[in-house]
Structure formats: structure tokens, C-alpha cells
Amino acid sequence: MTLNPDDRFPLASTVKIIIAFNFVRMVENDKFSISEKVNVNYIDKFFIKNTDGGAHPAWKNSINNPNEVSLLEVAKGMMHFSSNACTDYLMSKIGLDVINESLKTLQTNKHDRITYLTPSVLIPVYLSDKKKIAADKIKSMSLSSYQELSEELFQKMAMDNCDSLKEKAVQMLDRKVQYATSEKLPSSTTVDYADLMCKLGKELLSIKEKELFNEVLIGKSIKDDQDDFFWYRGGATLFVLTSALYRERGDHSVSVSLFMRDDKAGEIYWIKNILNSFIFSIATDHDFRNRVKELAVN
């Protein structure tokens, strides 16, 4: 297990914070409307059964499985339920170039280029029908080559040209393959994300933008009556936990980011069950926060 603020970690769902930022900016700049309708069947093109922990079906069930949804509901599907299909749709809607250009505005200096999430499930079976060969090929690929293939497969998914790959994808996802694909996720540091959350709260978003950001993130469901804003995003793979939080109350604010890595996947399972409570306690309990600081220094 490693825990260092300057280490680079493959990002799980925390990268969705940056997608949400771009969504809010596009809406506030009248590039599109939160009430714009999207065909759910089109979003489903980017869903692969049994690969997202039930996130995408749970989102659809929460809104009674409609034929169409608003862009705001898609954004909530991305952040409240962690639907990768919703995320990939929004990335396509916003544009990968726009999203990656925003990394300069956000000053996330150690952040890798961002690309689609769901195609990573298809890449192993696209490369080989043998797990070890697929894992070895993924390991040997440069990040740029891997992302180029991911974007190519995304376009095929959009055109319904990946059904056979989808059918075989799950059986390929053993631990070695999942580790290889996890290592090809965009990487960043805890420092970058702690700074990012602080900048979003204190500098980069107007009050109106912060209200919409609050709607898109988990905000309203976890903040108490005295909090102005409370944003949180956590994510996990078999090997990595990532989380980022921002809380604002009057003139006081706190920004927290915690990334953990366990290459043997022996401790992540139980840690992820308590991570949210731990992060929330740091943000809301002054004494607990000071105690954590003392333990970190010692």
C-alpha cells in the first residue's frame, strides 16, 4: 500500500470532476442547455453489461427507465451513480479537445490527457482472445497509442460495431488484465486534486456556476444547513482508491484529496467501505482533522 501526495495514481472516477466542470462551463456559456433531450438508447451504446457495478442500470431505474432524458440527468448519472456510459456520452458531447484544453485553465500540471472510459473494457478482447497476451500487449503500449485505440473503439461503439466485443469482454477481465488497463487510466496526484477542488470553490466558478456544480455533484444530499457547498467524488478500481472533496461554509473552506494504491488488491476492498466516512470526518470534524494531521506528520 502506498500513500504519498506527490505520487502519480491512475484515476478512477475522480476524473469525472473535470468533466463536470466542463459541463457547467458549456451550459453557462450557452453552448447547450441542461434541458436538452438525449435518447437513452444512444447512451446505452456505451454501456457494457456487468462491468460497472450496476451503476448505469441503477441510474436508469432511478428515473423510471425513460426513452429520453435531459442533459442534466445525464450529468447526474455520471456523478451520482458513476455511470461510465453517461460519462463517455458527455465527453463526446463536450469534446475531448475542450476537456483536455481545460487542464491548462485548471492548472492540473501533473494530469495526463483524458479520454473515454468504457472502451478500456473492450481493448483486451480486441487485442487477443488470450488473457495473458492481451495483458502483455496492453502493458507494452504507450499511453498515447492506448488512448488512440480507445477513441477508435468509442467511435465503433457509437456506430454499433462492437457487439461481438461486448459479448466477450467480461470473460477477459481477470486480475492481470484489469491491472494492465488500470495502469493506462489517466494519472495525477493528490496535490493536483486537492488544489483543483479549492480552485473550483474559491476562484474558477461563479456563484451561478457553483450552484449548478452543486446540482451535478453529490452536494445537496450530503451538506448540512450551514454549509454553502459540499462537493465529493470518489472512485475505485481493484488496485486504486481516489477521492476529492470541497466544503465551504461562510468564509471557511476545506479541500481534501486522498489517493491510495494497493498493487496486490489485498486491502482496497475493505478500505473502500470506510473511505467516504473517513473523508467526510476530515472535512466536518475539526478535532478528527487535527488528529489525522498529527498522525501523518509522525
DSSP per position, 140-189: HS-HHHHHHHHHHHHHHHHTT--HHHHHHHGGG--HHHHHHHHTTS-EE-
User: Which of 155, 185, 215 is the endpoint of a domain?
Assistant: 185
Distance in angstroms (rounded) separating the CA atoms of residues 203 and 236 = 28
Same domain as 211, residue 135:
no
Residue 278 included in any domain:
yes
- The secondary structure of residue 238, as a DSSP letter, is S
Cα 200 to Cα 246: distance, rounded to the nearest angstrom: 9
How large is the angle between the packed helices 190-199 and 16-28, nearest 10 degrees? 20
Asked if 223 and 179 sit in the same domain, the reply is no
3-state secondary structure of 137: helix
Same domain, residue pair 204 and 162: no
Query: Is the same domain home to 168 and 198?
Result: no
Q: Which residues of 216-229 are buried (b: 16+ CB within 10 A; e: fewer)?
A: bbbbeebbeeebeb
Same domain, 237 and 171: no
Pair (181, 269) in one structural domain? no
Task: Identify whether 252 is part of a domain.
Answer: yes
Cell numbers that stand for 296 in this block: 501523518
Could you tell me if residue 152 is inside a domain?
A: yes
The residue among 8 and 56 whose pLDDT is bigger is 56
> Would you say residue 78 lies in a domain?
no
Q: Same domain for 164 and 216?
A: no
Tell me: the pLDDT tens digits for 141-154?
999 999 999 999 99
Output the furthest CA–CA distance in the chain (Å, rounded): 57
For residues 172 and 202, membership in a common domain is answered with: no
- Residue 279: its pLDDT value, please? 84
Terminal Cα distance for the chain, rounded: 18
If asked whether residues 228 and 279 sit together in one domain, one would say yes
Euclidean distance between CA atoms 251 and 13, whole angstroms: 29
**Domain-embedded: residue 131:** yes
What whole-number percentage of the chain has pLDDT above 70? 96
Q: Which domain holds residue 181?
A: 123-185
Global pTM? 0.92
Here the cell at position 254 is: 476545506
Do the beta carbons of residue 108 and residue 192 sit within 8 Å?
yes
Evaluate if residue 219 carries a pLDDT over 80. no
Is 40 within a domain? no
Last residue of some domain: 135, 168, 185? 185
Residue 56 has pLDDT above 80, yes or no: yes
Q: Give a yes or no: residue 231 inside a domain.
A: yes
Residue 275 lies in a domain: yes
**What is the pLDDT of the chain when averaged over all its residues?**
91
Summarised one tens digit per residue, pLDDT across range 192-208 is 999 999 999 999 999 99
Do residue 224 and residue 288 come from a single domain? yes
Same domain, 194 and 290: yes
Instruction: Domain count for the chain, please give it.
Output: 2
Residues 165 and 238 grouped into a single domain: no
Q: Of 168, 185, 202, which marks where a domain is finished?
A: 185
Could you count the other beta carbons within 10 Å of the beta carbon of residue 215? 16
214 touches 231 (CB < 8 A): yes
Q: Which residues, other chains included, contact 269 with Cβ-Cβ below 8 Å and sequence gap of 6+?
A: none
Instruction: Give per-residue pLDDT as tens, 94-133.
Output: 999 999 999 999 998 889 999 999 999 999 999 999 999 9
Is residue 75 scored above 70 in pLDDT? yes
Closest by alpha carbon to 31, among 94, 99, 98? 94
Element (H, E) at 290: helix 286-297
